[in-house]
């Protein structure tokens, strides 16, 4: 279906209609949103065409959903609940009302599914790629925020879901792999249970790859970390595509599951996989051997 020629009024009307359709209507008439409830955590992320999504292979609804998931996942990683989202659409000339409506549908429905409200945003044109900046905020679930900096020697290292499916959507850019790639979700329920449990010592979400993000958590905590390759969980889809090759699961990124540490003698209150542990010996090790962190680094060589 061809994209409808845009005007700002038409774009705002389309966005408002989709927010109402998702059950979370917003007042888009003013420059500022009026927030209700407590905001303890704020995060921001940008999605850029050609970097985070592929306009040739991803549907606009999937792209909008990813923009919401990436930010809600950051709230989860800090022990927060979904509160509100503010987004911008930085639009190339060939993106019009129809695409914006579909982007909004994916964004708004994903936000509503996890209890968040889209409270405002901005529209602008660009000669560059489609870009979607998002800011999200929400309250803490437990008495304190979860951070990357509290892991201790002897702690166990856990993940809350299978890894690698998102990366396979890049390695195998067929329709089936792209569909599995977009099954991600923010692990807010798991985060809430862990925050109430009170035994988590450090946490973050895996957005750039298990090895790279585990190294970041270790550096922030001043510990070393050991990862057990055989313990890394993958989906049936991943196993069918890659067999025992876990490179994409270890370094692919965009998994949006939680990576956390807790005392080894404590039993987490959620379904999760123990993939390693922390030690006083600095560095990252895979199956006992030192390894350089690898994953997605926007500004580096990993």
Instruction: Let me know if residue 264 belongs to a domain.
Output: yes
Q: So what's the pLDDT on residue 233?
A: 98
Structure confidence by residue, pLDDT tens digits, 40-57: 999 999 999 999 999 999
Residues of the chain with pLDDT under 70: 1-2, 4-5, 296, 298-302
- Does residue 296 fall inside a structural domain? no
Number of domains in the chain: 2
Point out the domain boundary residue: 138, 169, 191. Answer: 138
Between the CA of residue 76 and those of 81, 140, 167, 269, what are the distances in Å?
6, 9, 21, 16
125 and 215 share one domain: no
Yes or no: say if 94 and 62 are a contact pair by the CB < 8 Å rule.
no
Are residues 159 and 258 in contact, defined by beta-carbon separation less than 8 angstroms? yes
- Indicate whether 270 and 177 sit together in one domain: yes
**Domain limits at 70?**
8-138
Q: What is the pTM of this model?
A: 0.94
Q: Token pair of 301, please?
A: 């060589």
Q: 235 in a domain, yes or no? A: yes
Asked if residue 120 is part of any domain, the answer here is yes
Statement to judge: residues 163 and 189 lie in one domain: yes
For the chain, how long is the longest CA-to-CA vector? Answer: 61
Following CA atoms 66, 71, 76, 78 in sequence, which dihedral angle do they give, to the nearest 10 degrees?
150
243, with CB counted inside 10 A (0-12, 13-18, 19+), is: exposed
**Is there a domain that residue 147 lies in?**
no
Residue 143 domain-assigned (yes or no): no
Q: In this structure, are 29 and 102 located in the same domain?
A: yes
Residues 210 and 262 occupy one common structural domain: yes
Q: Is residue 254, in this structure, part of any structural domain at all?
A: yes
Give the rounded distance of the alpha carbon of 65 from its chain centre: 10
Q: What is the pLDDT of residues 116-130, one digit of tens each?
A: 999 999 999 999 999
Nearest to 119 by CA among 19, 5, 22, 217: 19
Cα 129–Cα 77–Cα 253 angle in degrees, nearest 5? 50
CATH number at residue 258: 3.90.650.10
**Domain finish residue from 138, 165, 190:** 138
Assess if residue 144 is contained within a domain. Answer: no
For residue 16, the model assigns a pLDDT of 92
* pLDDT value at residue 26: 86
Q: What is the pLDDT of residues 171-195, one digit of tens each?
A: 998 999 999 999 999 999 999 999 9
Q: In this predicted structure, what is the pLDDT of residue 5?
A: 62
């Amino acid at each position: 279906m061809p994209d409808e020629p845009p005007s700002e009024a038409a774009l705002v009307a389309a966005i408002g209609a989709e927010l109402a359709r998702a059950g979370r209507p917003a007042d888009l008439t003013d420059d500022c949103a009026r927030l209700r409830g407590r905001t303890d955590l704020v995060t921001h992320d940008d999605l850029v065409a050609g970097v985070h999504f592929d306009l040739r292979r991803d549907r606009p609804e999937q792209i909008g959903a990813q923009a919401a998931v990436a930010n809600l996942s950051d709230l989860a990683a800090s022990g927060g609940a979904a509160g509100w989202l503010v987004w911008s659409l930085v639009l190339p000339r060939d993106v019009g009302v129809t695409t914006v409506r579909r982007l909004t549908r994916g964004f708004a429905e994903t936000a509503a599914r996890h209890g968040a409200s889209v409270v405002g945003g901005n529209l602008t044109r660009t000669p560059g790629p489609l870009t979607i900046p998002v800011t999200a905020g929400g309250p803490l679930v437990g008495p304190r925020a979860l951070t990357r900096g509290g892991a201790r020697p002897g702690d166990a290292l856990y993940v809350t879901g299978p890894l690698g499916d998102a990366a396979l959507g890049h390695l195998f850019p067929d329709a089936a792999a792209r569909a599995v790639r977009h099954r991600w979700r923010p692990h807010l329920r798991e985060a809430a249970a862990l925050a109430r449990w009170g035994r988590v010592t450090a946490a973050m979400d895996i957005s750039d790859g298990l090895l790279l993000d585990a190294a970041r958590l270790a550096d922030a905590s001043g510990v070393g970390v050991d990862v057990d390759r055989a313990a890394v969980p993958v989906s049936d889809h991943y196993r069918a595509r890659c067999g025992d090759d876990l490179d994409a699961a270890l370094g692919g990124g965009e998994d949006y599951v939680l990576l956390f540490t807790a005392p080894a003698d404590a039993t987490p209150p959620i379904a999760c996989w123990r993939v390693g542990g922390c030690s006083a010996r600095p560095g990252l090790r895979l199956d006992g051997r030192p390894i350089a962190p690898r994953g997605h680094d926007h500004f580096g060589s990993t």
